Amino acid sequence: MIDSDGMQLGEYIDVPECIEIMRSQLSPKKIETKTDDLELLPSNVILNNSKALVWHKPSHKGIFWYRSHNAKTEFSIIYPALLFCLKKGKQGEPNGLIVFALPSNQRPNENTHLYHAPLMNIYSNGAVCQGNATLPKKIISIAECMNDVEKTVLASNFTHVNHEKTLKAKEVVTTQNLLAFWSAKANTKSLSNAKVRMRELNRFMRLGEFLSSAL
């Protein structure tokens, strides 16, 4: 044994005890990790930083809800693939939503063209007028937040068209025009006609350009 005074007499340790000490030193140590603040990003997330959470949602069957002063209408439709951009405030809290349509279900890249979504309550810059469908106050779970944000658009009641480029048309696109568009999609027996074609929509800009200008 060695201490501050130099070499001293050691203490006897029997062979089994010695083996046990050696084993304890050689066995891998348990490493404690905190998992509460760790979360794998869903595969459809494109960007997640201090300014925004951006993801894409493939085309899917859903309900288009419309509410006027006198009545409530619903269409069973096939939504186009959509891009969601949830903007963040200084503290990382949700601070606005932007939605565009995508040309396919493939993961978009910087060269992918964005299209004006053929939906109501969305402005020409893609910003969503939330109305009573408010965004989550905090992002606790990314997956849950994405689901809640999508519901504020896809499970809410649309009320009116916000800009004339909502559809590609010769005349100014009105709320009634868009309702007729979705009514035709819902009532067709042809799957190809039920889907939204990109030639029916107006291009906005490429994804890379949008991210550079908006974030």
pLDDT tier at 170 (50, 70, 90 boundaries)?
confident
Residue 12 lies in a domain: no
> What pLDDT was estimated at residue 171?
86
User: pLDDT tens-digit profile of 119-140?
Assistant: 999 999 999 999 888 999 999 9
Residues 92, 139: Cα–Cα separation, whole Å = 8
Residue 29 lies in a domain: no
The average pLDDT across 74-103 equals 97
- The residue type at 184: A
Residue 55 lies in a domain: yes
**By CB neighbour count within 10 A (0-12 exposed, 13-18 middle, 19+ buried), where does 130 fall?**
middle
Determine what percent of the chain is predicted with pLDDT higher than 90.
75
> What pLDDT was estimated at residue 69?
84
Residues 126, 145: Cα–Cα separation, whole Å = 19
Residues 123, 180: Cα–Cα separation, whole Å = 20
Residue 57 lies in a domain: yes
Question: Is the predicted pLDDT of residue 52 greater than 90, yes or no?
Answer: yes
Residue 83 lies in a domain: yes
Number of domains observed in the structure of the chain:
1
Residue 26 lies in a domain: no
Identify each DSSP E strand in 42-81 by its residue range. Answer: 45-48, 52-57, 60-67, 72-79
Residue 167 lies in a domain: yes
Quote the domain boundaries for residue 199. 46-214
pLDDT tier at 206 (50, 70, 90 boundaries)?
very high
> What pLDDT was estimated at residue 27?
44
Residue 11 lies in a domain: no
